[in-house]
Amino acid sequence: MTKRIFKSICIVALSVFLFSIGLFMGVLYDYFSNVQRSQLRMQTNLAAQGAANEGMRYFEGLDVTDYRITWIGMDGAVLYDSRSDFAEMENHMEREEIRQALSEGIGESSRYSITLLERAVYCARRLPDGTVLRLSITQNTLLTLILGMMQPICIIFAAALGMSLILAFRLAKGIVEPLNTLNLDEPLKNDEYDELKPLLKRIAAQQCQIRRQGEELRQKQNEFDAVTTGMTEGIVLLNEKKIILSMNPAAMRLFGAARSCVGKYLLSVNRSLELQELLQKASDGKHAEMLMELAGGTYQLDASPVLSENLVSGIVLLLLDVTEKEKVDQMRREFTANVSHELKTPLHTILGSAELIADGMVKQEDIPGFSKRIYAETQRLIRLVEDIIRLSCLDEGVEGMKWENIDLSSLADETVQALLPEAEAAGIQINFCGETAIVYGIRQLLQSIVFNLCDNAVKYNHKAGSVSVSVEGEKNNVILSVADTGIGIPVEHQERIFERFYRVDKSHSKEIGGTGLGLSIVKHAAKLHDAEIELYSVVGGGTTIRVCFPVYKNFTKL
Ligand code: ADP
């Protein structure tokens, strides 16, 4: 802008200067021309008087250098000329000034030389005898004047140019300076130029609007941040070029990204090819999802395009934790496979034995043995199905089951009594000790816990071993303890025996009618009662399993 103003001022100044010089020269030239003309007229009048009085004698010995005097007869013939040989001069009748003098008494005219550098000015006066006296003078033309003045003009022009440049530079700077130092934070406080007032008012109004919109945006951003920060799900907003606009803390944790990732490509945070494909699908305007292992869990990634005017202007990426769901699905798959496998074995045995008997392939005396096997396998099958049903019920939850205050002591005592015949048959001593201890729970589930623990203690015991069952109340707990002097559980299996169908010795378990589901039922049922299970076991030395029921639950749901 400074340059433009500087240039404009220079052009204006020089144009005005040149125009003024031209005008001034013109006026000056005109003035001096007029002065010369009136002098010429005066001289003509004087000479005319002299010629009228003295005739040809007036011209004799006349010495004029500045003027040229010509005397012209009535017929136009030149009678005298101060510069040329008048005898050879042509007739002057047609000359403008002569014709005018003859008709009006005085005549004037001027003629330019061929080079246009000089001009002859003529003044003619008619004498009383009808002859005409003419005086002429040579004048410089305006062009000559200009050419003659060229040197001083150039010097003045150079001085004016220099002055114009300095002044133009200062002026331009002076004009632009206040514009450069405008206080745009408070536009209305600037009063340098009145012409800028409307513009400054508009800027102030727009700043006000921008501030208001900024405030609204900030508020919305804060609300959005507050919502997304608290979310356990990850949320990432990307623009159409897949650059991160926003990422909530959950997503940062999952991608292992820092706050500075905003403004970078998401693919620089996670280079997974699948993620790249997922985002590409969303970029193409389609909703897409995939499963991904992140931060030790399984996450479902949902990518949805954000459309504006039918064009994808961004992508919303949601990260949902499906670790539990995946685990449950996995367990369900494994459970189904295990169930079919577990059911197949007794069914095959039953089918095989029945077929042999039906085909008459079994001797009469072997039939009771086969029948026993069929009976035992059927029993195991029934137990298996019952356990599966029980577990399925527990998986469904405890809704519909009756919660009540139960004396765990008498429940354990009853179970021990019921197991006495089996224990005796195995040569194992089983005893119970305990006092009334109320647990708030579901009777069938508590029975399952006690029964499975006691049944295992008998099943996995040595001949002539013993089982001690006790229920005792501690400060905040009721503790059921089942201790046996049995085979014990190796340390490496202790963690896993509560898994479904997990057995330390599969064939031994099957032999004694185990289903592999007893401890899973115990674990599940205990969990539903907020009870903790503790296991102490030494191989060959016996096993003690303690189930600690919290007392705070007691009586609370009455
Ligand atoms: P099972 O029907 O086979 O007894 P459980 O789920 O009740 O299934 O037990 C799982 C496994 O844990 C058993 O197969 C057995 O190997 C082991 N186990 C359970 N209780 C005891 C115990 N008291 N002593 C030794 N091993 C045991």
- Residue 417's pLDDT is 95
Nearest residue by C-alpha to atom 19 in ligand 1: 456
Which two structure tokens, joined as six digits, stand for 100? 């005018």
Distance CA 362, CA 487 (A): 37
- Residue 554's pLDDT is 44
Alpha carbon of 353 to ligand 1 centroid (Å): 28
Residue 557: pLDDT above 60?
no
Residue 159 within a domain: no
Could you tell me which of 134, 156, 150, 175 has the C-alpha nearest to residue 40? 134
Q: How confident is the model at residue 552 (pLDDT cuts 50, 70, 90)?
A: low
Q: How confident is the model at residue 280 (pLDDT cuts 50, 70, 90)?
A: very high
CA distances from 239 to 110, 262, 286, 308, 317 (A): 88, 11, 15, 12, 11
Residue 222: pLDDT above 70?
yes
3-state DSSP assignment of residue 397? coil
Residue 208 within a domain: no
411 and 523 belong to one structural domain? yes
Report the CATH number that the domain containing residue 40 is assigned in CATH: 3.30.450.20
Average pLDDT of the residues in 148-156: 87
Strands 438-442 and 429-434: unpaired
Residue 113 within a domain: yes
66 and 124 belong to one structural domain? yes
Distance CA 372, CA 378 (A): 10
User: Ligand 1: which residues within 6 Å by Cβ?
Assistant: 452, 456-457, 460, 484, 486-489, 497, 502-505, 509, 514-520, 543
Alpha carbon of 497 to ligand 1 centroid (Å): 7
139 and 269 belong to one structural domain? no
Which two structure tokens, joined as six digits, stand for 165? 């440049």
278 and 409 belong to one structural domain? no
For 22-46, b/e burial (b = at least 16 CB within 10 A) is: eeeeeeebeeebeeebeebbebbee
Distance CA 180, CA 469 (A): 94
Radius of gyration of the chain (CA): 64
477 and 384 belong to one structural domain? no
Among 372, 396, 420, the domain-final residue is 396
pTM of the predicted model over 0.75? no
236 and 363 belong to one structural domain? no
Task: Name residue 80's beta-bridge partners.
Answer: 71
As for how many domains the chain has, the answer is 4
Residue 213 within a domain: no
Residue to substitute in 519, 521, 533 for testing ligand 1 pocket (most ligand atoms within 8 angstroms of CB)? 519
Q: pLDDT tens across 99-124, in order? A: 999 999 999 998 887 766 788 899 99
Q: pLDDT tens across 28-47, in order? A: 888 988 898 899 999 999 99
Q: pLDDT tens across 444-469, in order? A: 999 999 999 999 999 999 989 999 99
310 and 338 belong to one structural domain? no
Residue to substitute in 497, 521, 524 for testing ligand 1 pocket (most ligand atoms within 8 angstroms of CB)? 497
Cα–Cα–Cα angle for 47, 51, 54, rounded to 5 degrees:
135
440 and 372 belong to one structural domain? no
Q: pLDDT tens across 248-274, in order? A: 999 999 999 888 999 999 988 888 999
Q: pLDDT tens across 497-512, in order? A: 999 889 998 887 777 8
What contacts 106, CB < 8 A, 6 or more positions away?
A: 41, 44, 100, 123, 124, 125, 126
Residue 200 within a domain: no
17 and 111 belong to one structural domain? yes
Closest atom, ligand 1, to C-alpha of 387: 2
Q: pLDDT tens across 308-325, in order? A: 888 999 999 999 999 999
Average pLDDT of the residues in 350-379: 91
Residue percentage of the chain with pLDDT more than 90? 50
Task: Look over the chain and give the mean of its residue pLDDT values, rounded to a whole number.
Answer: 89
Residue 555: pLDDT above 60?
no
**Own/partner pairs for 39-45, CB < 8 Å, 24+ apart?**
40/67, 40/121, 40/123, 40/135, 40/136, 40/137, 41/106, 41/108, 41/123, 43/67, 43/123, 43/135, 44/106, 44/123, 44/124, 44/125, 44/133, 44/134, 44/135, 45/125
Alpha carbon of 387 to ligand 1 centroid (Å): 14
Strands 438-442 and 403-407: antiparallel
Distance CA 508, CA 65 (A): 159
Average pLDDT of the residues in 520-542: 94
Helix (H) or strand (E) holding 2: helix 2-54
Could you tell me which of 371, 50, 67, 423 has the C-alpha nearest to residue 59? 50
Distance CA 307, CA 295 (A): 31
For 198-232, b/e burial (b = at least 16 CB within 10 A) is: eebeebeeeeeeeeeeeeeeeeeeeeeeeebeeee
Residues of the domain holding 356: 326-396
Residue 472 within a domain: yes
Among 361, 396, 431, the domain-final residue is 396
CA distances from 406 to 267, 361, 435 (A): 59, 54, 13
Are the CB atoms for 138 and 120 separated by under 8 Å? yes
259 and 377 belong to one structural domain? no
Residue 354: pLDDT above 70?
yes
Q: What's at 311, amino acid-wise? A: L
Distance CA 24, CA 152 (A): 14
284 and 421 belong to one structural domain? no
Among 148, 170, 204, the domain-final residue is 148
Residue 191 within a domain: no
408 and 501 belong to one structural domain? yes
